Amino acid sequence: MGKIVPFLFTSFALITVLFSFFLLFSPIPFKVTSKQGLTSVQNLHELQGNFPKTDHFEVENCDLFTGHWIPELKGSVYTNSSCTTIPDSKNCFKHGRQDVDFVNWRWKPENCELPMFDSMAFMEMVRGKKMAFIGDSVARNHIESLLCLLSQEEIPLEIYKDTEDRFKKWYFPNHDFTLMILWTKFLIVGEERMVNGTGTSAFDLQLDKVENSWADFLPELDYAIISDGHWFFRVMYLHQGNSLTGCVYCNEPNITKHDISFAVRMAFRTAFDHINACKNCNGLVTLVRTFAPAHFENGFWNTGGYCNRTSPLSKEELDLGVFEWEMRNIQVEEMERAREIGKKQGKKFGVVDVTRAMLMRPDGHPGSHWGNKWMKGYNDCVHWCMPGPVDHWSHFLMAVMRKELGIFS
């Protein structure tokens, strides 16, 4: 048994190293001239005019996040050729995806309509403001989608990019609007354990300390869109102060065992407590984009799992007993806790609740159509095709911003 444990740990470390690369992969945007069978919709406002008119009071008091997907044959407002900033790994049509129906759906709340994203109105809402998306590569997926939607109104200038393509900043001069991605694995401090200079894919997490790489930007922000979760599926040693208080996925004696949900809850709680304690963050609006599920079938990412579906799940097929829904509940609960505390500090919190809608979209991932030459044979069922259902995250985002700011016009 003494020989088996190190072997199992080594095997697990190798697998998680590959998965870490999978999550870290960051392509370089480029212009696409593909003529795949998508129909371009050049005018967003013409598209909006074809949807039912929605009463503002109705939207304000409606649960936008409980509903189902219905056919919408007009497809997306952009294509993989009309938007020039789609990253290679999200450009599913370029990499051979043949079916197009996955872009021909829209989200229908049970008792109202979800207003479609309006790039002109959005840019007026954020004129003179700064917004940051704080999270992992799925958060980056969201901002990449938003950039394509905003390109209907204005093409931004890319004014900063770090060497690893994790931290980026764009500026929209016509609206004096700054948009940025602040990359973080866990929101809190997490250091990978190293053996002879090689990463083990096991992390030491400081449950009571946020990562400065994003937190230092808070005083200059008007909006912080926070999301995270996918990096927590690994061996983690949990610390508070100078004490080791527990672990996740470890099999060591005399250490308290915790599940992933505990680590996620503590990470979000610490992040929100830091925001509420920020003395120079007056007027900051913090929105939590809830966990976006992966959809591997018949295996995991490293055991042949795939996501080959071509249409959404129905309400009857939706399973809210899955762990992804628990992750969502933790994030919403911690947001509600922070909101109550924040009221005394003049801070605003809200939730962009995409989990239910995205649980129903196993057809929206790149699968084998992500063009990665380093990981051939592996499917991407974590990130989302562009265009695709990920664009709805910005429909939700704009509706929530309007609600938090009291803007219904």
Q: What is the pLDDT of residue 72?
A: 93
Q: Is the pLDDT of residue 30 over 60?
A: no
Retrieve residue 290's tokens: 């809830």
Q: Is the pLDDT of residue 8 over 70?
A: no
Residue with tokens 């789609």: 86
Instruction: Give the C-alpha distances (Å, rounded to integers) separating 39 from 79, 104, 250, 392.
Output: 8, 11, 51, 18
Q: Taking all residues of the chain, what is their mean pLDDT, rounded to a whole number?
A: 87
Q: How far apart are CA 64 and CA 399, in angstroms?
A: 9
CB atoms within 10 A of CB 222: 16
Tell me what percent of the residues of the chain surpass a pLDDT of 90. Answer: 76
pLDDT digits (tens, 9 = 90+) for 291-312: 999 999 998 877 889 999 999 9
Retrieve residue 51's tokens: 């949807």
Model confidence at 105, pLDDT cuts 50, 70, 90, reads very high
pLDDT digits (tens, 9 = 90+) for 310-339: 999 999 999 999 999 999 999 999 999 999
Torsion of CA 271, 274, 275, 276, to 10 degrees: 120
Query: Is 369 designated active site?
Result: no
Q: Is the dihedral of CA 260, 266, 271, 276 positive or negative?
A: positive
pLDDT digits (tens, 9 = 90+) for 267-288: 999 999 999 999 999 889 999 9
The residue annotated as part of the active site, out of 227, 380, 392, 395, is 380
Q: What is the pLDDT of residue 165?
A: 84
Tell me if the bond preceding 109 is cis, omega within 30° of 0.
no
Q: How far apart are CA 335 and CA 289, in angstroms?
A: 10
Q: What is the pLDDT of residue 40?
A: 30
Q: What is the pLDDT of residue 203?
A: 98
Strand 188-195 relative to strand 198-210, pairing: antiparallel
Contact 182, 167 (CB under 8 A): yes
Model confidence at 340, pLDDT cuts 50, 70, 90, reads very high
Retrieve residue 21's tokens: 């690369």
Mean pLDDT, range 111-130, rounded to an integer = 96
Q: Bigger pLDDT: 41 or 352?
A: 352
Q: How far apart are CA 137 and CA 144, in angstroms?
A: 10
The residue annotated as part of the active site, out of 76, 89, 137, 201, is 137
Q: Bigger pLDDT: 47 or 318?
A: 318
Q: Is the pLDDT of residue 37 over 50?
A: no
Q: What is the pLDDT of residue 198?
A: 93
Contact 38, 103 (CB under 8 A): yes
Q: Is the dihedral of CA 353, 301, 180, 38 positive or negative?
A: negative
Quick one: which H or E segment has residue 62?
none
Q: Is the pLDDT of residue 141 over 60?
A: yes
Q: Is the pLDDT of residue 368 over 90?
A: yes
Q: Return the minimum-mean-pLDDT range out of 26-40, 135-149, 204-218, 284-298.
A: 26-40
Q: In sequence order, which residues have a C-beta less than 8 Å from that of residue 13 and are 6 or more positions away?
A: 199, 200, 201, 202
pLDDT digits (tens, 9 = 90+) for 78-94: 999 899 999 999 999 99
Query: Is 368 designated active site?
Result: no
Task: Determine the topology of domain 94-405 in CATH.
Answer: Rossmann fold (3.40.50)
Q: Return the minimum-mean-pLDDT range out of 67-71, 197-201, 376-380.
A: 376-380
Q: What is the pLDDT of residue 7?
A: 44
Q: Is the pLDDT of residue 39 over 60?
A: no
- The pTM score is 0.86
Q: Where are the alpha helices (DSSP H) in 200-244?
A: 212-215
Model confidence at 32, pLDDT cuts 50, 70, 90, reads very low
The residue annotated as part of the active site, out of 95, 230, 258, 383, is 383
pLDDT digits (tens, 9 = 90+) for 218-228: 999 999 999 99
Q: Return the minimum-mean-pLDDT range out of 65-74, 303-312, 400-409.
A: 400-409
Q: Bigger pLDDT: 55 or 161?
A: 161
Query: Is 383 designated active site?
Result: yes
